A and B are shown apart, each in its own frame.
Chain A
Amino acid sequence: MSARSSMERTGAVEAVANYLDALRVSDPTVRERVTAQVLERVAETNGDATAPLAMRELDRMVNDWFAEVIGEPQPIEDAAQLSARGRLALLLVDLPGRWQSQFLQPGPWPPDFVRAMRESFLHTRPNDHLADMQPEPIDLGPIATLTRLSRLPYYRILLVWLAFALLLVVVFRLTH
């Protein structure tokens, strides 16, 4: 193996390891198995393993696995959405805590795991019970007259002049 190939392979291993870290997959056996699977699949299809190729392969493998475990209808139109659905299921079934050994394992899987993955549902809100609310009009009484005054043209200008006139009266009274 050339030095370059060796470096590329190391980069590929690191890229896979980083994503496994992000998924909180810490079991060394699982990490080793997944890394080997990825590198093997890359070698089969592309020859030398590089980090981008390894990540694409890992992405494809994870999505295929999600589709099988969750039982989403094929073909998958939006890989990113399927990936998100699968990762949410992993989060809800607590993959890092309970099911690391099943990650990217070919079937059959333990029935509990499959059921948990398929039935995982994020319960953010209860069922809607829609009701109608309508504000009742408020009779503001004498204030309503003021609000009608405010619709008069130039009322602000008139108010300023009135305030000025009042000020003159006050000044006059205070100084005389």
Chain B
Amino acid sequence: MHAIPSEMPAPPAAPLALAPSRRNTARTFAFFSCAVLITGVGGMLFADLLWRTGWSAGRTVLLILYSILLFLASIGCMHGVYGFLLRRIGDRHRITAMAPYRERGLAGTNTALIFGICNEDARRVCENLRSIYESVHDTGQGEHFEFFILSDSTRPSCWIEEERAWFEMTRELGAFGKIFYRRRTDHAGRKSGNIRDFLRTWGRRYRYFIVLDADSVMSGPTVCDLVRLMEVHPTAGLIQTAPYLVNGHSAFARFQQFASQFYGPVFNAGLNYWSQDGGNYWGHNAIIRTEPFMQFCDLPELPGRKPFGGQILSHDFVEAALLRKANWEVWFAYDLNGSYEEGPPGVIENAQRDRRWCQGNLQHFMLLFTRGFDGLSRVHLSQGILGYVASPLWLLFMIVSSYLLWFHEETGLSDIAVAPFTPYLRLTAAHHALLVFCLGMVVLFLPKVLSILDLFWDAERRRRFGGVGRAAAGVLAETIFSTLHAPVQMLFHTKFVLTTLLGVEVHWVTQQRSANGTTWRGAWQQHWLHTLIGIAWAAFAGWLGTDIFWWFTPVCTGLVLSTPLSVLTSRTSLGDCLRSAGLLLTCEETSPPPQLTRLNERMEAHAAASNSRGAALLEAVRDPYLNALHVAMVGDRSSTGPAADSPRVRTAMERVLSADLAERSPDDEELLASRADLMAKLHREYWLAQSTPAQ
């Protein structure tokens, strides 16, 4: 018996039009004005520096690029500064502090937790779901929640593994009727289409739904708190949590998760300062009010051709903007703990993920001027776009700088520096250049310093990061790594932006990973061009002069070392070494929550057992129970297709029964696995064939 009613209670009335409050406007103005101020001062200093050796068109281009890049860096810096200050003086304008919610009961609420997956590791997904399920039930509020695995998997082996993992988990938990599994045969709309299919079919059963990714984990208390927050804020349409990266073992993943957890709270406090109820949605680890989402967030296709037209790829930003457009609030509950996700294990996997995100974010350009969108929604969309466009701009800045230096060298112009147009500075040209450089460094690194300072006011956090000394050493290591990684990222992103604009598909060479990370060969295939560019640029800078060579060294070093950087940081052995040395420790490592500890223990047990598992399709043919389970789950959907005795089906069945993997094609597997009648027949024929002596 479970408490979810068959129909969702009457939805709350849509909120009246929300005019931007004076508080929100003031906050936005104050925040971005600081970034403009820094950019203005920096831009003036830089313009003055360029002025000293005579103006030219190239210098105009350089100044524009510098100002754009400095503005973006200043916004990042301001997140750190505002976040640091707010954590000291407190901010009442956050959703968790605006009204008491902890005492609110969940009676009458019903919430679905949905895992949208596509060809993921089924065991990992189910263990994540199990950990949330158990944690929710430990709170005593389990009756108000139901769980869904919404599969979009296309590979038969994946979906058979999903069925098996779902069944075993659900039976162990005694949760039939509480944890559901559904696989789509039509994959229209990808992830957003998957969620829409869920909403069209079952959305009316639930007042709220929580979207989770395959690698998402949330604690039960956090899940319950999200529902309580929605209940006490009836105008909130969506509340996004801040998922922190966990479970990283490679050095790269540990760098990322340290950065996420160490800088994250400070940055997130700054982000909430200006976004307030005009927040953003990151696609997972967020709770959504079902009714307005169903009413306002079904995404239309964009006019025109790819890459900008067609289906909206990065749906999350747009859904948040549509909710805002319909006067629903979107909040960022950045101070709710217990929300986690996992990051990519290496540089190449990170770039592969960025490739997908890049196309989706660039597509948002189409929506920037949409009528009715909230101003803050446009800021979020712009930031997403600039996050990728900044890379080609940085590259262009470097190219124009190099060109100007070469032009200066080639023409044999003298270095006579005229007085700056800001004469009160009284700086030599060299000191002037140093001042511009230092300003840039302060803008880039101040948030990191403030994150270290933040530890002095938080003893618990200080202890969890291994003390101030270790945390500072971690920041230093992470800074060195990110300095080397940034130029590689710049070239990757530039390639992604250009290929997206040109509508060219990027074909990745199949990732070659050993048990311990990226192989040298695999890394070289991805980074050889980066290495050559780095060597060529360093040689060019050296030819121009020793001083210039040193200016370009940080960028060129990262490019030249891209292959070893990619290989070494993908290794778990290096990650383990860093951990043994007490570097890059995170809260979840020094004080692991029992939920994550149990999850990791189970995953280790599965890793040990997984070696004995055969190919999933053959397993589903051979094993009487798995076969019966699969036949039942494929069910009625399987009546169409070629007849069971057609040559096409006979050939496919013979190939599967021969257990010759080389002979089997993905089409054969899909044909058989998607038909209940054929799978039931195959099981019978398999066992009869096993008893027949070979001819």
A residues whose Cβ falls under 8 Å from a Cβ of B: 11-12, 15, 18-19, 22-24, 51-52, 54-56, 59, 78-81, 83-88, 90-91, 122-144, 146-147, 150-151, 170, 173-174, 176
Residues of A close to B4: CB separation below 8 A: 126
Question: CA–CA, A125 to B631, complex, Å?
Answer: 15
Label chain B's interface by main secondary structure.
helix
Residue of B whose beta carbon sits closest to that of A131: B204
Q: Tell whether, in the assembled complex, residue B57 and residue A173 are in contact, meaning their CB atoms are under 8 Å apart.
A: yes
Q: Tell whether, in the assembled complex, residue B629 and residue A122 are in contact, meaning their CB atoms are under 8 Å apart.
A: yes
- CB A139 to nearest CB in B, in angstroms, measures 4
Question: CA–CA, A55 to B205, complex, Å?
Answer: 48
Q: Is B134's beta carbon under 8 Å from chain A?
A: no
Q: Tell whether, in the assembled complex, residue B684 and residue A125 are in contact, meaning their CB atoms are under 8 Å apart.
A: no
Q: Tell whether, in the assembled complex, residue B199 and residue A131 are in contact, meaning their CB atoms are under 8 Å apart.
A: yes
Q: Tell whether, in the assembled complex, residue A80 and residue B366 are in contact, meaning their CB atoms are under 8 Å apart.
A: no
Question: CA–CA, A136 to B203, complex, Å?
Answer: 18
Residues of A close to B61: CB separation below 8 A: 170, 174
Question: CA–CA, A146 to B302, complex, Å?
Answer: 12
- CB A38 to nearest CB in B, in angstroms, measures 11
With contact pairs A136-B300, A143-B366 given, residues A54 and B691 touching in the complex (Cβ less than 8 Å): yes
Residues of B close to A135: CB separation below 8 A: 298-300
Q: Tell whether, in the assembled complex, residue B309 and residue A147 are in contact, meaning their CB atoms are under 8 Å apart.
A: yes
Q: Tell whether, in the assembled complex, residue A129 and residue B693 are in contact, meaning their CB atoms are under 8 Å apart.
A: no
Residue of A whose beta carbon sits closest to that of B372: A139
Query: How many residue pairs between the two chains, A and B, have CB atoms under 8 Å in the bound complex?
Result: 171
Which residue of B56, B303, B370, B683 has the most chain A CB atoms within 10 A of its CB atom? Answer: B303
Question: CA–CA, A136 to B303, complex, Å?
Answer: 14
Which residue of B146, B177, B203, B691 has the most chain A CB atoms within 10 A of its CB atom? Answer: B691
Question: CA–CA, A34 to B56, complex, Å?
Answer: 95
A-B contact pairs, 15 of them (CB 8 A): A22-B622, A54-B691, A85-B632, A122-B633, A123-B177, A126-B4, A131-B203, A131-B204, A131-B294, A135-B300, A136-B300, A140-B370, A146-B304, A147-B302, A174-B403
Residue of B whose beta carbon sits closest to that of A137: B300
Q: Is B176's beta carbon under 8 Å from chain A?
A: yes
Q: Tell whether, in the assembled complex, residue A125 and residue B298 are in contact, meaning their CB atoms are under 8 Å apart.
A: no
Q: Tell whether, in the assembled complex, residue B304 and residue A147 are in contact, meaning their CB atoms are under 8 Å apart.
A: yes
- From A22, A52, A147, A170, give the contact of B692 (CB < 8 A): A52
Question: CA–CA, A127 to B300, complex, Å?
Answer: 28
Q: Is B613's beta carbon under 8 Å from chain A?
A: no
With contact pairs A80-B677, A122-B629 given, residues A128 and B683 touching in the complex (Cβ less than 8 Å): no
Q: Tell whether, in the assembled complex, residue A84 and residue B367 are in contact, meaning their CB atoms are under 8 Å apart.
A: no
Q: Tell whether, in the assembled complex, residue A134 and residue B202 are in contact, meaning their CB atoms are under 8 Å apart.
A: no
- From B202, B298, B308, B693, give the contact of A133 (CB < 8 A): B298
Residues of A close to B57: CB separation below 8 A: 170, 173-174, 176
Residues of A close to B7: CB separation below 8 A: 129
Q: Tell whether, in the assembled complex, residue B370 and residue A88 are in contact, meaning their CB atoms are under 8 Å apart.
A: no
Q: Is B368's beta carbon under 8 Å from chain A?
A: yes
Q: Tell whether, in the assembled complex, residue A139 and residue B370 are in contact, meaning their CB atoms are under 8 Å apart.
A: yes
**What 1/0 flags go to B303-338 for Cβ under 8 Å of A?**
111001100000000000000000000000000000
Q: Tell whether, in the assembled complex, residue A126 and residue B633 are in contact, meaning their CB atoms are under 8 Å apart.
A: no
With contact pairs A144-B303, A150-B305 given, residues A127 and B677 touching in the complex (Cβ less than 8 Å): no
Question: CA–CA, A173 to B622, complex, Å?
Answer: 73
Residues of B close to A137: CB separation below 8 A: 300
Q: Is B369's beta carbon under 8 Å from chain A?
A: yes
Q: Tell whether, in the assembled complex, residue B624 and residue A23 are in contact, meaning their CB atoms are under 8 Å apart.
A: yes
Residue of A whose beta carbon sits closest to that of B692: A52
Residues of B close to A86: CB separation below 8 A: 628
Those of B366-387 within 8 Å (CB) of chain A = 366-372
Q: Tell whether, in the assembled complex, residue A15 and residue B201 are in contact, meaning their CB atoms are under 8 Å apart.
A: no
Shortest beta-carbon contacts, A-B, top 8 = A87-B628, A51-B691, A141-B369, A173-B57, A80-B680, A135-B300, A88-B628, A15-B691
Q: Tell whether, in the assembled complex, residue A84 and residue B683 are in contact, meaning their CB atoms are under 8 Å apart.
A: yes
Question: CA–CA, A78 to B687, complex, Å?
Answer: 17
Q: Tell whether, in the assembled complex, residue A84 and residue B631 are in contact, meaning their CB atoms are under 8 Å apart.
A: yes
**What 1/0 flags go to B667-695 for Cβ under 8 Å of A?**
00000000011011101100110111100
- CB B193 to nearest CB in A, in angstroms, measures 11
Which residue of A80, A134, A138, A176 has the most chain B CB atoms within 10 A of its CB atom? Answer: A138
- CB B99 to nearest CB in A, in angstroms, measures 31
- From A15, A128, A174, give the contact of B690 (CB < 8 A): A15
Question: CA–CA, A51 to B146, complex, Å?
Answer: 48
Question: CA–CA, A176 to B305, complex, Å?
Answer: 39
Q: Tell whether, in the assembled complex, residue A85 and residue B369 are in contact, meaning their CB atoms are under 8 Å apart.
A: no
Q: Is B296's beta carbon under 8 Å from chain A?
A: yes
- From A88, A136, A139, give the contact of B632 (CB < 8 A): A88
Q: Tell whether, in the assembled complex, residue A80 and residue B684 are in contact, meaning their CB atoms are under 8 Å apart.
A: yes
Q: Is B571's beta carbon under 8 Å from chain A?
A: no
Question: CA–CA, A123 to B298, complex, Å?
Answer: 29
Question: CA–CA, A139 to B300, complex, Å?
Answer: 11
Q: Tell whether, in the assembled complex, residue B309 and residue A129 are in contact, meaning their CB atoms are under 8 Å apart.
A: no
Q: Is B196's beta carbon under 8 Å from chain A?
A: yes
- CB A131 to nearest CB in B, in angstroms, measures 5
**What 1/0 flags go to B224-238 for Cβ under 8 Å of A?**
000000000000000
Question: CA–CA, A80 to B686, complex, Å?
Answer: 12
Those of B1-37 within 8 Å (CB) of chain A = 4, 6-8
- CB B2 to nearest CB in A, in angstroms, measures 10
Residues of B close to A83: CB separation below 8 A: 628, 680, 683-684
Q: Tell whether, in the assembled complex, residue A126 and residue B146 are in contact, meaning their CB atoms are under 8 Å apart.
A: yes
**What 1/0 flags go to B35-54 for Cβ under 8 Å of A?**
00000000000000000000
- CB B293 to nearest CB in A, in angstroms, measures 9
Q: Is B551's beta carbon under 8 Å from chain A?
A: no
With contact pairs A11-B693, A55-B687, A59-B684 given, residues A129 and B204 touching in the complex (Cβ less than 8 Å): yes
**What 1/0 flags go to B175-191 for Cβ under 8 Å of A?**
01100111000000000
With contact pairs A150-B304, A174-B57, A174-B403 given, residues A87 and B627 touching in the complex (Cβ less than 8 Å): yes
Q: Is B543's beta carbon under 8 Å from chain A?
A: no
Residue of B whose beta carbon sits closest to that of A121: B176
With contact pairs A124-B180, A125-B180, A130-B201 given, residues A52 and B366 touching in the complex (Cβ less than 8 Å): no
Question: CA–CA, A142 to B684, complex, Å?
Answer: 63
- CB A126 to nearest CB in B, in angstroms, measures 6
Residues of B close to A55: CB separation below 8 A: 687-688, 690-691
Q: Is B100's beta carbon under 8 Å from chain A?
A: no
Residues of B close to A134: CB separation below 8 A: 298
Q: Tell whether, in the assembled complex, residue A136 and residue B296 are in contact, meaning their CB atoms are under 8 Å apart.
A: yes
Q: Tell whether, in the assembled complex, residue A126 and residue B202 are in contact, meaning their CB atoms are under 8 Å apart.
A: yes
Residue of A whose beta carbon sits closest to that of B163: A124
Residue of B whose beta carbon sits closest to that of A80: B680
Those of B84-129 within 8 Å (CB) of chain A = none
Residues of A close to B304: CB separation below 8 A: 146-147, 150-151
Residues of B close to A23: CB separation below 8 A: 624-625
Q: Tell whether, in the assembled complex, residue A147 and residue B633 are in contact, meaning their CB atoms are under 8 Å apart.
A: no
Question: CA–CA, A15 to B684, complex, Å?
Answer: 13
- CB B403 to nearest CB in A, in angstroms, measures 7
